[in-house]
Structure 1
Amino acid sequence: MRQPIDMKRFEQLKAAGDLPSPRGVAIAIIRLTQSPNVSAAELARAIRGDPAFVGRLVKAANSSLGAGKRAVVSVKDALMVLGLPSVRTMALGFSLLSNYRKGACGAFDYEHFWSFSLVMALSMQALALRVRVFAADEAFSVGLLARVGELALATLYPAEFGGVLREIAATPDLHQLELEEKAFAMTHCELGAAMLLDWGLPEVMVAPVQCYETPEQAGFAEASREAGVLQCLVLSRAIARLCLSPESEHANLMPPMLRLANRLGISHGDFIALCENVGREWGEWGKLLLLETRQAPAFSRLSSTKEAPVAEAARRPPDGAGQGPDAGDELRDDEAVRVLVIGANEDERACMRSTLDPDTFLITEEDDYDQGIERAIDIQPQLMVVDWGHAGCWADWIRALRDTRFGCSLYLLVLLDHLDEETLRKATEAGADDFLVRPVCPSALALRMQAGRRTILLQLRLEHEREELRHFAAELAISNRRLQEVAMTDVLTGVPNRRYAIDRLYMEWAACARHRRPLTVMVADLDGFKEINDAHGHDVGDMALRQVSEVLRGELRAQDVLCRMGGDEFLVICPDADLNAALACAERLRAAAANLEIETGGPQLRLSVSIGLAVRDESMPAMKALIKLADRGAFLAKARGRNCVVAPQLAGRAP
């Protein structure tokens, strides 16, 4: 990755001590996590020094699990779910959020900045659970800190950065990055990437942060992990923009988001469910972080909005939008249709008033055609009657009206002075649905208006059914994900099961092969478990399994994963651990199990574990070879008297 900014200059900024930086307990957490052998118990003790961070950490862990899994309630469980790198980055992000809510840059909206960043964090986490390009917990931190460069500029250069922001507010067409480059010889994206790199975030996440506001300049390989992270960042930013933008802009922002989601392979219904969940989480997190949030947009309704190239005035919702049924609402058989009549003469209007039932047709009249356009935008009629003698002069406006949300389902009846082929062709091309020829016959008028009403009724019922189908598809997608997540968890112990272990090991194997990092696997067999089952019954055996799995989890490093493979056998996946580090960890597991007194409500029992471990090396053709070697180590440990650790790769312990 090319350097985000001139690193010599960055070091000078860092040395000056003015860059945003963590404080308090966050510093202790970050220092502890820099040690590869820190235990979950040590880290948990440090974290409990900040009750606010405890709540945020547990919330983050539950969010990253998704629905359907056993809720995380303790710090130790949260550490196991999130892993060491994510806990470090979250401590950093939440510390910045707590300490930089205000600042000297008057033009910089700190509250809006953090609320926007929170939506990005939740969106990145939700997208990571769908696309599986990177870990969900890691994604949360990256989303929360992606815009930290703006916070840094506001802190370092409050007056100058405020000037840039005011210039953009006065002239929205200006590009912020260009103005920043001119004012500071760097952009907030470049500065933010340098800060994230300095804080220890992996390059594969930092590189997309540097260019997600200008993705066309990224140059990542199409199938690369960086390209996947970049697309998720772009889409997360779009979701945040929509959530915090005025309602009048929502219809324009939604279609590009749907296209981005489709490019990531996320179905329409799944993406709408994702956005709605982000909206709910935004409100919950806002309360937890004491951040101001808004009512989340109605994503399911927005998803059906056409992207319309019409005048901004035609897109704006009316001031009285709540006065009648919306285009997406179901219309009852006894409900009045909103009718706008433009340009008809007085006799024709009188005919309409006397012929049409006011309980069925709610008629609004307008003489002036220019005022008629504004009235149409204001009341959003479902049926319009237009004098084609004048309407032919503004047929382009009718075409534009058809591109608006209410206009695309509008039933348009035109009044013709005479009937000929050319007039009908022009009216049809402009978007007319039906016509009446002067002089207006009351019976013909009633027939045409009732036909229009039936068409409107059918359209709205169809849209209502589509909406129900979209909701059903979204609920089905959520249910499927819940089932999938339940299928990955061992019901008895609550730890990941064999299926999860194999999937996770495949991912870690590929990552270690790609980045040339160590990967160690342990196989842990309980000693004497069969005897407990035979002597005391399976209920007591289940208690033993739960308590042993709990104590083993507590002794693992934060990034390690404990899985139950079945019966009394557990698998531990230790990424970024060489043989020596894994041996130290395995010894902690062995000692913890040996010292555990199993509470049964009756006799107090003890168990021990025999552990075999193996580290990946170039001679191993596949992942199965690594598991097989660790399993052989467990067999040797049993043969040597149990309650010991054996690594077959160590010549001194080989048979």
Structure 2
Amino acid sequence: MTNKFDSSRYEKLKASGDLPSPRGVALAIIRLTQQEEVSMAELARVIRSDPAFVGRLIKAANGIVAMTRRPVVSVQEALMVLGLPAVRTMALGFSLLSNYRRGACHGFDYDAFWSASLAAALAVQVFAQRNRAGAPDELFSLGLLSDVGSLALATLYPAEYAQILAEARRYPERRLADLEHRAFAMTHTDLAAAMLADWGVPKVLIEPVKLYETPERSGATAGTRDFMLLNTLVAGRLLAELCHAPEADRPALLSRLIETAGKVDMSADEVVSAGDHIVSLWRDWVAALELPAGNPPVFADLIEAGERDGRDAAYPAQVSDEADEAVEPVPEDDAGDSPVRVLVVEDDPVIRALLREVLEESACEVHEAADGRSGLEMALEVQPHILLSDWAMPQMDGMELIRALRATRIGRNAYILLLTDLEEDERLIEAFETGVDDFVGKPVKPRVLAARLRAGLRVVRLQQELERDREEIRRFAAELAVSNRRLQEAALTDTLTGFPNRRYAIDRIQQEWLASTRSGRPLSCMIIDIDNFKRINDTYGHDAGDSVLRAAADALRSALRGQDVICRTGGDEFLVICPETELTAALSCGERLRGAVDALKVAAGDVELQVSISVGVAVRDTSMADLDALMKRADEGAYLAKQRGRNRIEAMQQER
């Protein structure tokens, strides 16, 4: 059940002054970036007063551009790469990291929290670079702050939260969020979302924070931006969990990660490649910040280990999503003969021996426990297909055991037989309503037990067959998703330059126009034409023209900021989309592009061709009724640049 968060409670917490909040230079950066007329020079001056933040900012910028251009070495370059919204949120995140490395909550591991948050930040950033779920710089900040509610609860209620964390560790079947809500009338995700909203984080980035632990509650349609953002964050948090998990838990976490990544158009191979890259980045970050790194996995080794154990890690056989009632998978080649695990919970050793004898005759794998408490612990460990439990037992009776087990994912599909000498109708109705599937009267009659056991075995076998069918469907769906993604990429990609094509360009700039409308943030674009391209084709042939296009594309790619999108929209025409960029910054970026192409020398037989471009730049303003007006203004700028001699950059909005 979803608990509604009382926003007035957050206002009281905020008024108390005890919530984690930015301090010092970070606070100055946040206030400065909220001003409409802030200059890059002024912002850079404030940032340079905090050498630690300078290093982290440049490091974050290089995480975005590492594969596309030379390293970032200055604050100004980092600001160009990241943009103001991301710088503001990073200042916030790193300020919290610096000021909340220690605290009074003894049950809360502050270093592990920040280490995991950094892993999630890097994972979400790298995944976003590959699946285009959103701006990688903003998603870095989203990953870093997605669990800030836990830090806030540990800060606000150190003693109480330590007890809750201890209870959650002792009873893993109890959801941490439920324990939090019972104690504080709020959960860590509620509090994180409220804090991010208060700090000015866009709503589209807050919704994933509310839902990343329960993504099945999201109503987002597959493929939409909300769906992509949510599942990219879920995948990032899973990777962070995997980095800190014991080795025994890693195969299952990897399966969940690959399945989630598949929802955002990433194949298993891409997850493995991205995972090793993320771990490498994460090692550098935690070393610089003196945080624990533990023993992070090598993803290729995890895949190989899964194959050796008979698990196809690329297509996980067991889904641990809370909404999917999965049972223990059975290998296809011997599914019919695999042993059924049976757990007997009975305090009488004589009855346990009798039950074991009957069960072993049916080729069952038998486990035993002498009381309800140890029975629950063993059930969570061995994940039985069938549970045989006495009603009356010490420490925890049969009804308590069954209720606790049915509340867990592991216990939902177990077939439960209750041993009882009580046959009153009301008591049996109570048992069936609690989750019992059948009962066996005491004293136990072996033939009756065997008959009822056979009925349970039929149910278990049917569940295993159903799971194998589900697995086939999942495999097919995963293969189909990869094929569809490749077809979609082919349909949206220009084969000569590798840039997105005109169809993608129109869709993407429409999305950015709508985002700019919602947020009120600037949007710029550039139209780029290669000078004298027709003459090159006519004089030196189309092969030379293709060489010029490829060389120009490589130069443009290397000079762009990480957040900009470049597309080939015609023969020698390119469109550059610059989200959250004012005209001055777009002109600066356009000049960098012009210079990169102007430095080219392209061989055409024995001749070396000089290449140049004309660039038209435009920024959205209040006179523009629609997207076409913005692109027309940029096209007019490109035409003006050609009129004035080519190899230059122009903007009609400067001509006024």
Q: What is the TM-score when the length of structure 2 is the normalising length? A: 0.61
Amino acid at match of 2:342: V
Deviation at 1:502, TM superposition (A): 1.9
Q: 1:92 to 1:487 in 2, by over 3 A?
A: farther
Say whether 1:529 aligns with 2:533: yes
Q: 1:619 to 1:281 in 2, by over 3 A?
A: same
* Kept in 2: contact 1:339–1:364 (CA 8 A): yes
For residues 478 and 171 of structure 1, what CA distance do their matches in structure 2 show?
42
The corresponding residue for 1:138 is 138
For residues 434 and 150 of structure 1, what CA distance do their matches in structure 2 show?
42
More relative contact order, 1 or 2 (CA 8 Å, 6+ apart): 1
Say whether 1:382 aligns with 2:385: yes
Amino acid at match of 2:114: W
The corresponding residue for 1:320 is none
Task: State the aligned residue count.
Answer: 563
Q: Secondary structure at the match of 1:75?
A: coil
* Kept in 2: contact 1:147–1:189 (CA 8 A): no
Paired residue for 1:338, among 330, 337, 341?
341
Q: 1:591 to 1:459 in 2, by over 3 A?
A: closer
* Kept in 2: contact 1:212–1:233 (CA 8 A): no
Identity rate, percent: 36
Amino acid at match of 2:339: A
* Kept in 1: contact 2:339–2:364 (CA 8 A): yes
Deviation at 1:525, TM superposition (A): 2.0
Amino acid at match of 1:501: A
1:211-230 correspondence runs (5 A)? none
Amino acid at match of 1:361: C
Q: 1:458 to 1:615 in 2, by over 3 A?
A: closer
Q: Secondary structure at the match of 2:497?
A: coil
Say whether 1:303 aligns with 2:320: yes
Say whether 1:270 aligns with 2:270: no
**What is the CA deviation profile of residues 34-53 of structure 1, one whole-angstrom value per residue up to 9, with x for unaligned ones?**
25999xxxxxxx9xx98x98
Amino acid at match of 1:500: Y
Amino acid at match of 1:292: A
The corresponding residue for 1:545 is 549
Q: 1:166 to 1:21 in 2, by over 3 A?
A: farther
Deviation at 1:236, TM superposition (A): 9.1
For residues 436 and 575 of structure 1, what CA distance do their matches in structure 2 show?
68
Structure 1 stretch 563-572 or stretch 112-121: which is displaced more? Answer: 112-121
Gaps of 5+ in 1: 23-31, 39-45, 63-70, 154-160, 179-186, 198-202, 216-221, 259-265, 309-324
Q: 1:517 to 1:405 in 2, by over 3 A?
A: closer
Say whether 1:597 aligns with 2:598: no
For residues 58 and 318 of structure 2, what CA distance do their matches in structure 1 show?
37
The corresponding residue for 2:293 is 292
Amino acid at match of 2:113: F
* Kept in 1: contact 2:376–2:405 (CA 8 A): no
Deviation at 1:567, TM superposition (A): 1.0
Say whether 1:169 aligns with 2:162: yes
Flag the structure with larger Rg.
Answer: 1
The corresponding residue for 2:170 is none
Q: 1:130 to 1:204 in 2, by over 3 A?
A: farther
Say whether 1:360 aligns with 2:363: yes
Say whether 1:624 aligns with 2:628: yes
The corresponding residue for 1:117 is 117
**What is the CA deviation profile of residues 434-489 of structure 1, one whole-angstrom value per residue up to 9, with x for unaligned ones?**
45678877655544434433332332342344345446545654664565456544
Say whether 1:503 aligns with 2:507: yes
For residues 21 and 609 of structure 1, what CA distance do their matches in structure 2 show?
37
CA RMSD of aligned residues (A): 6.6
Q: 1:140 to 1:600 in 2, by over 3 A?
A: farther
The corresponding residue for 1:457 is 461
1:225-264 correspondence runs (5 A)? none
Q: 1:285 to 1:93 in 2, by over 3 A?
A: farther
Deviation at 1:238, TM superposition (A): 7.7
Paired residue for 1:573, among 571, 577, 592?
577
For residues 14 and 383 of structure 1, what CA distance do their matches in structure 2 show?
56
Say whether 1:609 aligns with 2:613: yes
Q: Secondary structure at the match of 2:569?
A: strand
Say whether 1:34 aligns with 2:35: no
Amino acid at match of 1:532: I
Q: 1:621 to 1:386 in 2, by over 3 A?
A: closer
**What is the CA deviation profile of residues 32-83 of structure 1, one whole-angstrom value per residue up to 9, with x for unaligned ones?**
9925999xxxxxxx9xx98x98886554458xxxxxxxx6464389989954
Amino acid at match of 2:568: R
1:13-162 correspondence runs (5 A)? 34-35=40-41, 57=61, 59-61=63-65, 72=68, 74-75=70-71, 83-85=82-84, 88=87, 109-122=109-122, 125=125, 135-144=135-144
* Kept in 1: contact 2:346–2:389 (CA 8 A): yes
For residues 469 and 214 of structure 1, what CA distance do their matches in structure 2 show?
26
**What is the CA deviation profile of residues 593-631 of structure 1, one whole-angstrom value per residue up to 9, with x for unaligned ones?**
445322457421113334444444444332123323433
* Kept in 2: contact 1:58–1:72 (CA 8 A): no
Q: What is the TM-score when the length of structure 1 is the normalising length? A: 0.61
Deviation at 1:521, TM superposition (A): 3.6
Gaps of 5+ in 2: 1-10, 31-37, 45-50, 166-178, 185-190, 213-218, 221-225, 303-312
* Kept in 1: contact 2:58–2:78 (CA 8 A): no
* Kept in 2: contact 1:119–1:239 (CA 8 A): no
**What is the CA deviation profile of residues 329-361 of structure 1, one whole-angstrom value per residue up to 9, with x for unaligned ones?**
557444433334566999987776666655713
* Kept in 1: contact 2:105–2:162 (CA 8 A): no
Structure 1 stretch 492-501 or stretch 541-550: which is displaced more? Answer: 492-501
The corresponding residue for 1:41 is none
The corresponding residue for 1:316 is none
Amino acid at match of 2:138: E
